[in-house]
A and B are shown apart, each in its own frame.
Chain A
Amino acid sequence: MKQRLVVIGNGMAGMRTIEELLTAAPEKYEITVFGAEPYGNYNRIMLSSVLCGEKAIEDIVINDRQWYLDNGITLHAGEDKAVVRIDRKNRKVCAQDGTVAEYERLLIATGSKAVIPSIPGNDLDGVISFRDILDVKKMLAYSQSHQNAVVLGGGLLGLEAANGLALRGMNVTVIHSNNVLLNRQLDSPAGKMLQAALEQRGLTFKMAAKLKQLLSDENNHITTVCLDDGSQLECDLFIMAIGVRPNMALAQAAGIYCERGIVVNDTLQTYDPSIYAVGECIQHRGDTFGLVAPLFEQAKVCANHLSAHGAAEYITLPTATKLKVTGINLFSVGDFQGDRTTESLHFTDPACGIYKKLVIKANKLIGAVLYGDTTDGNWYQELMEKEENIADIRNVMIFGKVYAE
């Protein structure tokens, strides 16, 4: 008899794990999937492309409902199918509508939630995050009827949202707490170049700014954004994009050990040996995750163990960043800031909007920022992963792989 595998979360990490599992051990499990959104599995990363009009929703679907049927997977998708409880003792999960599923193995892939700034007005109408298809639909609706959007957060998500809304015709201001956009991914020169490029596209920036409060009209709808410096911005739509937190409430409630996320070992197992977790909800060796590449790697390792092949171990590798704003190429990986123990290579061509920085330590590449020309990003990442000695190619490596061969 097949074992029962229940998956909480119909997102990218969970479903990639299932895809891997179906390849590795197609007959091993009877699989049930719970998802809080009423769709099949879609590519969340491409929401930005939908927002800015480059793609339609159907373009970003990875697995439609037919796929679940074809693979004998039971899918419970919809708001009322959100899992509300894990009963570890009886090895079953319960959804909001009472649906129950028993498991021998449980995979938690509940993802993350947007961080909500703790300021007055954070619950007003017109204040949303940018996490799922529903958010995108709201944003598109606003863009057709309203003028002014404010995006809180100059990180990847915030900038993609801002760019999309601007392309949809809104006046967009981005509020960022740091002096440098994408400061987790870019150093100052690259951040400045990015800002200049986005300003040229019509975005407005409030840098090193701190949000004070949001004001509303009589209908409880946002009207004004107030900053600490006393300035105010007219606002019809406010997007919160200052980061995400692992969505671990369900696990916590079930008594699974959590810190900042659901703590897993190198085989993606939680403290409950029958329960695995992957994706943005987990904490592995102190790290939490927000980019897709490590999620896919986790999926591979997790599926390996679920299929009882049981040899793979998950190691967090440096992950590269890419911004999905058409016409803007940027790439960063590893320790791109460097410190007193590192050396760095720089290349700039301001007229062409190109900036590159490679950080070197003990003749090894440990980080890279590329702006404007990201052709060799993958090569740099490869050099880092393989920890190659770069002494011989140091003088030309910043110009690309073709010069180093």
Chain B
Amino acid sequence: MNKIIQTTCPYCGVGCGITAQVDDMRHQVSIIGDKSHPANFGRLCSKGSALGETVELKGRLLEPRIFGRDTNWAQALDQVAGTFTRTIEKFGPDAVAIYASGQLLTEDYYVANKLMKGFIGSGNIDTNSRLCMSSSVAGHKRAFGSDTVPGCYDDFEQAEMIVLIGSNTAWCHPVSFQRIRTAKDANPALKIVVIDPRRTASCDIADLHLPIASGTDASLFNGLLHFLQQTNALNQAYIDAHTEGFAEAVNAAALNSGSIEQVAKRCKLKVEDLQCFYQWFARNEKVMSIYSQGINQSSSGTDKVNAIINCHLATGRIGKPGMGPFSLTGQPNAMGGREVGGLSHQLAAHMDFSSTEDIERVAQFWGAHKIARKPGLAAVDLFDAIYDGAVKAVWIMGTNPVVSLPNADKVKQALQRCDFVVVSDCIANTDTTALAHVLLPAQGWSEKDGTVTNSERRISRQRTLLSPAGSSKPDWWIITQVARRMGFEKAFQYQIASDIFREHAALSGLDNNGEQGLRDFDISGLAGLSQHEYDQLQPIQWPVNQTNPHGSARLFADGQFFTSSGKAQFITIEPRLAVNSTNNDYPLVLNTGRIRDQWHTMTRTAIAAKLNQHKPEPFVEVHPVDAKHHQLLSNGLALIESQWGSMMARVQIGDSQQQGNLFVPMHWTEQLANHGRMGALVNPVVDPISKQPESKHTPVRIKPYLPAWQGFILSRQELTMIASGVDYWVKVKGEHYYRYELADGVLPNSLQTWVRANVFNTVSDNLQCLEYQDSGRNNYRAAQIVDNRLESVIFIAVDDALPERDWLSTLFEKPVLEKHERMALLAGIPPSGVAEGGPIICSCFNVGEQTIRAAIREKGLKTHQEVGQCLKAGTNCGSCVPEIKALL
């Protein structure tokens, strides 16, 4: 029997509602967007649409493991609790730590935070949200006295101007981008400005793109503040009534900005472009400044956030429809993590260690007499402390720091040196689970039950779709069980997720009033939810309390802020450039970020074959001039090195990249590529206030990697002994096959022998396979066919004469190979008359570039809508529309 269940997407911070049709017997889920959910109104992006393909059990962590052996829950929990307890007894509470994740549900997060801060008594719980949101958190706190996103998605439609700053919204928050695109279509007067060093897909709808020099955002917004003052575009009444610190901030801005020409020079922008932006900003009342990692991931990220907020305060454009600063959060529950206090400097429910009253209040509420009284270590410092041996036991939940943290090779070493590493995850093999002493099987997205909060403060339910895989358990249950075994039974009596939610909601409302201190985060209106009401909970924006029982779309409409004076704070900004500047040894700036079809470290998105087709390999985008200077070949391999580490990537040359800058995707892991971890390169530099790493700016050098041979394998089965020892390999899951890209510096004496041993896993001469050899060039190709069905095909070339993989890939869908296909197999190209689809552009409908080009040519298609009508491409998530338009 199929069930229809409404739940929430587990990827980015847009927080799209999903309607899932569930067949628990067959362990199948089919996904459509939830038309009633206010975050997406039925739309889904390519990743969300493919969720149904990621729920397979293959690759899941199904049983607890201690030192690599499957065990039962009792033993695993005893081991964790026992080791943590002994470590604390011997070395104190600060010798243990939890590193959590914006992938956790609010309920999981709440108990993890409660355990560490309340009962272990250390602040040492931090989260991967440190890597994406902490500069926003810090900026909000400084300006508003609270970590508050003032606006909401509805503002997109009401704005007169939207500024996207350091955000490739088109790829990273595709559904929000579609909403902005739709708003622009409906109202062509809506001005879109993109501020980004790269010309990203988001520039597709931009009226103006400012290709700002990396790291100069604060100069640009200081310049804007100065310009607003000079052109009398300030809202002096608002400044006077609702803010503090304006004079100092604007004076400093004037001083360090100088003329527009000087600002333009500093930011490497055309004066007229900058002037245009400033004038538009001044003239349009309803301006939204939407920003993301390009602002946050910086050693001056907090200042950049405040430089933006300053301009909104100076014009009074905050808290009203269609305007305000708006931080797009990266993860599905980064906001939820912030609400429970999951960052090491937070305490709980938007209270922190700066206030003794807050500490006492929380201690009393929890019944926690050992409560931590000072912040713990933030992510980068935390792993340094593990490396140094100060932290001796760590529990990592639902995240992959060996890939995602800066200086990731050191993180790997830190975990290798650590006495006790516990990892709870839903996936068995990740770069981080590989280093765990104890592995705890957590339930995955399709099995969990709880709540998440999106970028616009909207709490949505994530609901159980499928029965748990193997022995997996909810994260809150695992934490609770360990807490009980550590002697904290009384405080961890939760039976179901809603028990935790009610407690969390109650804490948010505790003493939350004008007398005892008003806090922005208040969902006390939900503290009394029955289980039934919790199950039925509709998406709702906090605060939810007596005053706002149905939630709140916006805050600060009344000009009242959560500072002690009730006034918003201007922050005086002295712009700083990135900490590590380029030099002769490392002359290029490395930028990192997301791509359209992958999520984080690909542990789930790479399961969905169609999401791997858009960008199958780690790549580096290089400006043509830099490519020439560094002798890089288009589509060749490159070695990128920083002072901290190295990676290899496929070279993509294009002028969307600025000269002097490189861009690499953040996603690849050692599970999928032996040298694709960008984290190894990234400098371990953090913002002094937010402690957020400077992931967008690392000095690097690049050189071509010239292999003795390159090749690829397409195999129906996953290969176990994949090419151990080759310099470069990447694994890509396809539909019915796995693709491996290979390159190495040494040519084996016999490629035939090498392939048989490493790919076909046999030394037998009787192997029945098709083979092609070019003795002169040492090119080798082979294919295995079993019962007329293609099993595997391998191409190795000493030159780069390798065919496209597309057509060969399609042969795996065929139950029987036709004779002409068999003959063409090792030619690698279809027999004449069969058109190639080309690289996939539209992941949702699997439409390739060549198909689109052909349709445009043959049918005379003029617009992306026509392409959509003809091929469906671009009609679902729409995130490939910029690429279709480029083809047109």
Contact = CB atoms under 8 A, between A and B. Distances in A.
A172 B784 CA distance: 36
Contacts of A344: 773-776
B774 A402 contact: no
Contact of B831 (A348, A351, A402): A402
Given A348-B770, A351-B785, A343 B775 contact: yes
Contacts of A345: 772-776
Contact of B829 (A343, A394, A403): A403
Contact of B772 (A350, A351, A398, A400): A398
Interface in A378-405: 394-396, 398-400, 402-403, 405
A346 B785 contact: no
Interface string B749-782: 0000000000000000000111111111101000
A373 interface: yes
B823 interface: yes
Interface string A340-375: 000111111111100000001000000000000100
B774 A394 contact: yes
Nearest to B781: A347
A362 to B, nearest CB: 11
A349 B784 CA distance: 10
Interface residues of B, number: 23
Contact of B771 (A347, A395, A399, A400): A347
B822 interface: yes
B419 to A, nearest CB: 55
Given A351-B785, A403-B827, A343 B774 contact: yes
A405 B832 contact: yes
Interface in B576-621: none
Contacts of A399: 823-824, 826-827
Interface string A300-328: 00000000000000000000000000000
Contact of B822 (A346, A352, A403, A405): A352
Contacts of A360: 776
B801 interface: yes
Contacts of B771: 346-348
Nearest to B770: A349
A395 B770 CA distance: 16
Contacts of A349: 770, 822
Contacts of B831: 402-403
A398 B770 CA distance: 13
Contact of B768 (A343, A347, A351, A373): A351
A340 to B, nearest CB: 11
A10 to B, nearest CB: 44
Contact of A402 (B775, B828, B832): B832
Interface in B833-868: none
A69 B769 CA distance: 59
B98 to A, nearest CB: 55
Nearest to B827: A399
Interface in B780-811: 785, 797, 801
A396 B829 contact: yes
Contacts of B797: 395
A356 to B, nearest CB: 9
Contacts of A405: 832
A346 B772 contact: yes
Contacts of A396: 827-829
Nearest to B772: A347
A279 to B, nearest CB: 38
B776 A343 contact: yes
Contact of B775 (A346, A347, A351, A400): A346
Nearest to A394: B774
Contacts of A348: 770-771
A395 B769 CA distance: 19
B374 to A, nearest CB: 66
Nearest to B797: A395
A403 B824 contact: yes
Contacts of A350: 768-769
A373 B824 CA distance: 13
Nearest to B783: A349
Contacts of B779: 395
A387 to B, nearest CB: 18
Nearest to A360: B776
B798 to A, nearest CB: 11
A351 B801 CA distance: 27
A400 B768 contact: no
Contacts of B770: 347-349, 351
Contacts of B773: 344-346
Nearest to A403: B827
Nearest to A358: B774
Interface in B202-218: none
Contacts of A400: 823, 827
Nearest to B766: A350
A358 to B, nearest CB: 9
A9 to B, nearest CB: 44
Interface string A270-285: 0000000000000000
Contacts of A403: 824, 827, 829, 831-832
Contacts of A347: 770-772, 826
Contacts of B824: 399, 403
Contact of A395 (B768, B801, B823): B801
B421 to A, nearest CB: 49
Contacts of A373: 823
A185 B774 CA distance: 21
Contacts of B801: 395
B649 to A, nearest CB: 26
A347 B777 CA distance: 14
Interface in A21-54: none
A389 to B, nearest CB: 14
A143 to B, nearest CB: 36
A349 B817 CA distance: 14
A347 B773 CA distance: 7
A350 B772 CA distance: 12
Contacts of B827: 396, 399-400, 403
Contacts of B832: 402-403, 405
A104 B109 CA distance: 113
Contacts of B776: 343-345, 360
Nearest to B824: A399
Specify which of A349, A394, A402 lies most central, judged by the most chain B CB atoms within 10 Å of its CB.
A349
Contacts of B769: 350
B756 to A, nearest CB: 14
B528 to A, nearest CB: 72
Nearest to A351: B768
B352 to A, nearest CB: 65
Nearest to A355: B771
Nearest to A338: B775
A402 B827 CA distance: 11
Specify which of B768, B775, B785 lies most central, judged by the most chain A CB atoms within 10 Å of its CB.
B775
Interface string A194-208: 000000000000000
A383 to B, nearest CB: 16
A398 B781 CA distance: 12
A395 B828 CA distance: 10
A345 B775 CA distance: 6
Contacts of A352: 822
A361 to B, nearest CB: 10
Nearest to B801: A395
A399 B822 CA distance: 11
A405 B824 CA distance: 14
6 contacts: A345-B774, A346-B772, A350-B768, A396-B828, A399-B824, A400-B827
Given A346-B772, A399-B824, A403-B824, 15 more contacts: A343-B775, A344-B774, A344-B775, A345-B772, A345-B776, A347-B770, A347-B772, A347-B826, A348-B770, A350-B768, A373-B823, A395-B797, A395-B801, A402-B832, A403-B829
Interface of B: 768-777, 779, 785, 797, 801, 822-824, 826-829, 831-832
List 4 A-B pairs, minimum CB-CB distance, nearest first: A343-B776, A399-B827, A346-B773, A349-B770
